[in-house]
Amino acid sequence: MNYVIHVEELAKIRNELKHKNKKIVFTNGCFDIIHAGHVDYLTKAKELGDVLIVALNSDESVTRIKGSKRPIVPLPERAFVISQLKAVDYVTVFEEDTPYETIKKLVPDILVKGADWSKENIVGKDIVENAGGSIETIEFANFQSTTNIIKTIVERFKEQ
């Protein structure tokens, strides 16, 4: 997966970008079954700065968070699709249930999550704000979700 950069290497790239006065935006998620809502969200996240880093949950992390039947799409495929989106500059992966350690190593200028998260509960908020950065939330353009897509597929197959 040469389109995924290990967090240690990405921290070096981040430092080079900061020396060039680039504003680093960071977001994270499972991004299982990429849909229009994901693309819209990532496009809006990129508009907040110069460089967008997306941290993906590993397959094991997705399973712990979403249950034994997830992810549907394995990490190499999820990472490839995300890395090919115009808005995304860098992709990394974290094994934990939250990206706290990744955020601690990268210290982005802007930490972004969907508006379904309250800013107080966003993991890594303390790190980013203590470094002078900001926390932003993005409203969803539509109400698509991977979970809802899966439910729709299951229901339609039950009808057959």
Length of the chain: 160
What tokens were used for 18?
């900061």
Question: 107 lies in a domain?
Answer: yes
* Cα gap 18→150, rounded to integer Å: 40
CATH of the domain at 28: 3.40.50.620
* Cα gap 81→131, rounded to integer Å: 31
Say what the pTM is: 0.92
Structural domain tally of the chain?
1
Question: 2 lies in a domain?
Answer: no
Question: 133 lies in a domain?
Answer: yes
Question: 94 lies in a domain?
Answer: yes
pLDDT, residue 112, reads 98
Domain that holds residue 40: 7-159
Beta strands in 22-114 (DSSP E): 24-29, 51-57, 90-94, 110-114
List of the chain residues with pLDDT < 50? none
User: 92 and 83 in contact (C-beta within 8 Å)?
Assistant: no
Residue 153 CB contacts under 8 Å (≥ 6 apart), including other chains: none
pLDDT in tens, 129-154: 999 999 999 987 766 777 777 888 88
Helix (H, G, I), strand (E, B) or coil at 20: coil
Question: 1 lies in a domain?
Answer: no
pLDDT, residue 143, reads 67
Question: 75 lies in a domain?
Answer: yes
pLDDT, residue 1, reads 59
